[in-house]
Chain A
Amino acid sequence: MTSLSWKVGAVVAVGVGVTDVVLSAYQGVTLSDLVVGTAVNAVTISAGLVVWASRPASRMGVLITVWGICGFLADTVGLLPDSRLGATVGLPLVLLPSAVYAHMVLAYPTGRLVDRVDRAAIGVIYAAALMWSLPLLIGSNPSGCTDCVPGVPSLLFIGQIGPLRTIGQGFSALFIVLGAAFVCLVVRRIRRASPGVRRTLWPLALAAVFGGAQFIARSAANLFGFASWQETLLWLDRASGVAVPIALAIGVLTTRRARGPVGNLVVELGNVQPGGVRDALARTLGDPTLELALWLPDRGIWVDERGRAIAVAETSSRAVTLIGDDLAAIVHDPDLADQRSLLEAAGSAARLALENERLHAELRSQLDELRASRARIVRAGDDERRRLERDLHDGAQQRLLGVGLVLQLVRARVPDGEAAELVAEAESELREALRELRDLARGIHPAVLVDQGLGSAIKTLAGRSSVPVRVSTDGERLPPQVETASYFVVAEALANIAHHADAGHVDVTVRRENGSAIVEIRDDGRGGADATGSGLQGLADRVKSLDGRFSVHSPPGSGTCVTAEIPCG
């Protein structure tokens, strides 16, 4: 805060005070009214100017200053000698400070009304504050009324109008409603604010609720004519006016004090685990909604701490603070933007940890990319297998079947003898070739898996196995890539059992558990299987490409259990 702004504030305070004193002396106002009125206006305008000078980016200073000036004008015009000009200017000014006050409270701490409902409410409040005096200006002639201020009609006076009292009562009722709406909006604001902002907001909110309540009481007293309340209410009005600068001061001090946690942040970051910087910053800044974005210059993208690409953009509900040159960004509650120094301090403190966090995020991002590409390669391989199987089926297999039919025709046409024997031999060879081709196609990609799912495909495998197999599946269809991987796990395991295990019996179980398919092949053979053999290793790779887990438990002499756990996405 510059010393100049303090000086300007002090000069204005003195100026306002002197003006009040002169006018009061002229009107013969009581000493207590004079002291309180002067203090409120002078302090408010000075505070507004000081805030304006020290935080030019925030509109708060402007609002506080305008509020003070309106208050000063309203009081001063009230003190002017009765004149028709004074009455014309003075009446519309009476409620304007209250409207500016409401505007200021709802716009705190940025000075901007972000919320649509808030904006609409403030619009109505300004309109009501200006309109209420219009019927009085046109139709009220207080001549002869001793306790009326002003005591003369305005320049706009046309004539006394009958329903004036009713209109006045209507406005009093409207003011009660607006007062209640204002209190509700303040409470809503507090409830919605992040803890960090709430810490700064609550003193003003408390003062505002008090101010709103006394405004409602004042309007109610006007409406129901409780004249005896007026004196008390006037003092409450003054008190609520004084409460605001105090609340603002507490708010500013709280913001200052909040710099304390930056020290804690530094300590915390010393022990932070990868991925923990966001939480530490969120705690320090009191904004649980805070998001951390890390810039990966090589790839030219923002990622979160898990390495996932994210978009970083400033919106009406999210503000962005950049840390370092191309290092990181904090996406946070826009109300925190008013605490720029705290944000910057926290960002600086976290810089080293953020460098580290970025390396981790980059690594995770590369791992994700690697995992995705591995899954893509396996999927492409599966697609290729399916195509190959289809080609064999539609091409070579069909032609050989045709040849078989032709040979049958030939056999019927040649007499018994050497030629007939040769044809029979050719038919036999052909049948064998077709069987081998069918087995090959089935090994490349089993048609039954696509048509009928894993359960049927495993039962088909079991049917061909030389070792008795008991199959237990729940028959539920799984995603295609999970079914394919599961099928090949079972097929390879059964082939291994047939060749090496010397087993008497095999149990194959497929079940779904916690969103994953669990495939288990357990035999009672000799155990001691080599899990690093190319067949099992290939299966492990295939399962892991789907983020699954693959294990072989094979103690010598106690059978083998192959388990694959594959997430079903």
Chain B
Amino acid sequence: MRKRVLIVDDHPTFRRFARRLLQDEGFVVVGEVGDGASALDAVRELVPEVVLLDVMLPDVSGLDLAEVLASVAGAPTVVLTSSRSASDYGTSLEGSSARAFIAKGDLTGAALRAAVTLQ
């Protein structure tokens, strides 16, 4: 069963290549958006199973958006990503309702799949 993914990131280059990579590696990318407000609309409309969410969005922090997404009906699995490493966010990732964090440099289909299947 191919997982349905929504990519939320404000950098179009990253979105474009991430979409191709994930599709190559067996995911269905149902959409890509560049900010928090569009992300919320897209989640309600497209009902993805996984949201690959950038920590730093122009209008809202990815950490805050993850909390909101956790409360919507049919909450998707949220995987945070960033060009920075996890240690740059101190302790704030620890309490997040996101399933996992993958640095952008380490993003592969396998890494995302492993993160999604984490319990």
Interface residues of A (CB under 8 A from B): 393-394, 397-399, 401-402, 404-406, 408-409, 412, 431, 434-435, 438, 442, 446-448, 451-452, 456-457, 459-460, 463-464
Contacts and interface: CB of A to CB of B under 8 A. Distances in A.
B24 A409 contact: yes
Interface stretch (B30-38, B40-48, B69-77, B82-90): B82-90
Contacts of B91: 452, 456, 459
18 contacts: A393-B83, A399-B13, A402-B14, A405-B17, A405-B18, A405-B20, A409-B21, A412-B24, A438-B85, A447-B88, A448-B88, A448-B89, A451-B90, A451-B92, A456-B91, A456-B92, A460-B87, A463-B87
Contacts of A464: 87
A412 B14 CA distance: 18
A413 to B, nearest CB: 9
A442 B87 CA distance: 11
B116 interface: no
Given A393-B84, A447-B84, A456 B90 contact: yes
List of 8 A-B pairs having minimum Cβ-Cβ separation, nearest first? A456-B90, A405-B17, A402-B13, A398-B11, A452-B90, A401-B104, A448-B90, A397-B83
Contact of B107 (A405, A442, A447, A463): A405
Interface residues of B, number: 23
Nearest to B87: A460
The secondary structure that dominates the B interface is: helix
Contacts of A405: 14, 17-18, 20-21, 107
Nearest to A397: B83
A451 B89 contact: yes
A402 B89 CA distance: 22
Given A448-B88, A452-B91, A452-B92, 5 more contacts: A401-B105, A412-B24, A434-B105, A451-B90, A456-B91
Contact of B88 (A399, A434, A442): A442
Contacts, number: 67
Contact of A398 (B14, B21, B24, B85): B14
A434 B65 CA distance: 27
Nearest to B13: A402
B91 to A, nearest CB: 6
Given A401-B83, A401-B104, A452 B13 contact: no
Nearest to A402: B13
A205 B25 CA distance: 100
B47 to A, nearest CB: 26
Contacts of B17: 402, 405-406, 409
Interface string B48-72: 0000000000000000000000000
Given A405-B18, A448-B90, A460-B90, A438 B84 contact: yes
Given A412-B24, A434-B105, A456-B90, A398 B13 contact: yes
Nearest to B15: A402
A434 B108 CA distance: 16
Given A438-B84, A447-B84, A408 B108 contact: yes
B41 to A, nearest CB: 24
B84 to A, nearest CB: 6
A442 B85 CA distance: 10
Contacts of A463: 87
Which of A404, A431, A435: most chain B Cβ within 10 A? A404
Nearest to B89: A448
A401 B84 contact: no
Contact of A452 (B14, B18, B85, B89): B89
A11 to B, nearest CB: 93
Given A409-B21, A447-B84, A431 B92 contact: no
A405 B24 CA distance: 11
Contacts of A448: 88-90
